[in-house]
Amino acid sequence: MKNIRKAYGALRVIDDVSLKIERGVFITLLGPSGCGKSTLLRSIVGLAEPDSGEILVDGKDITRAAAHNRPVKMVFQDYALFPHMTVAQNIGFGCEMQGMEKSAIARRCTELLELIRLPDIANRYPDALSGGQRQRVALARALAPDPAALLLDEPLGALDLKLRQDMQRELKAIQRRTGKTFVFVTHDQQEAMSMSDLVAVMNKGRIEQLDSPQNIYANPATLFIADFVGATN
């Protein structure tokens, strides 16, 4: 991202954000509610349009590309699975849109159900799944078209503590196994610190520090960060 800006009326939501993310990295945007995390993710995936700036993936400018043509996929907190489709149909949907062959879609689906360790649920409907299972299916669906990066907007926010911790480990393991670039968003500093290779701390629409979790703890760049990261939520 180069010099991204976005305002709603007089409110500057994204204030000149530039960020280069290397392939295969688990990076977290961490910051308090309202600091612009979701707006930044939505700009990358094509659900919000920046007022200025550029977004490039592998050197290709996608700033104005239609959402469905972007090589990035998003996972939301509320899963947003299609209720009238089976798990297999949900996972295959994106591949079908890309014109992938039926047999290839079936193979991909089997592979992804193995990855999320739910090999036996292909024919179930979302309402027959637990919260954790739905979240893993949403993840598989987003991974199905093999995006360059997966964007996750507080995906664990709705889960209770125990499940949330299980899912943190699960997500991390999936990221490692796939080698996929994950751009994760949370307001929970513990979650950011335990899961990420890199953390970008956001405050009022700006990235105040981009660093390893260790360095953010040891050498917070601003008072805000020292406060925010030092606090136990």
Asked if 135 is part of the footprint of Mg ion (rule: CB under 5 A), the reply reads: no
For the bound state, the minimum distance from the C-beta of residue 117 to ligand ADP, rounded and expressed in Å, comes to 30
| The only residue of 38, 63, 175, 203 in contact with Mg ion, by rule CB under 5 A | 38
Minimum CB distance to Mg ion smaller for 38 or for 203: 38
DSSP strand pairing (198-203 vs 52-54): unpaired
Tokens 């000149």 -> residue:
16
Position 209 contacts ligand ADP (CB under 6 A): no
| Residue 205: strand, helix, or coil | coil
- Candidates 3, 34, 190, 230: give the one binding ligand ADP (CB under 6 A): 34
For the bound state, the minimum distance from the C-beta of residue 60 to ligand ADP, rounded and expressed in Å, comes to 25
68 phi and psi angles, rounded to 5 deg? -75, -10
CA nearest neighbour of 124 among 167, 89, 80, 93: 89
User: What value does the CA radius of gyration of the chain take, rounded to a whole number of Å?
Assistant: 18
Whose Cβ is closer to ligand ADP: residue 121's or residue 159's? Answer: 159
| DSSP β-ladder status, 181-186 and 206-211 | unpaired
Of the pair 38, 43, the CB lying nearest Mg ion is at: 38
Q: Count the Cβ atoms, other than its own, within 10 Å of residue 207.
A: 21
Q: Give the nearer residue to ligand ADP in terms of CB position, either 96 or 188.
A: 188
Pick out residues in 36-65 that bind ligand ADP (CB under 6 A).
36-39
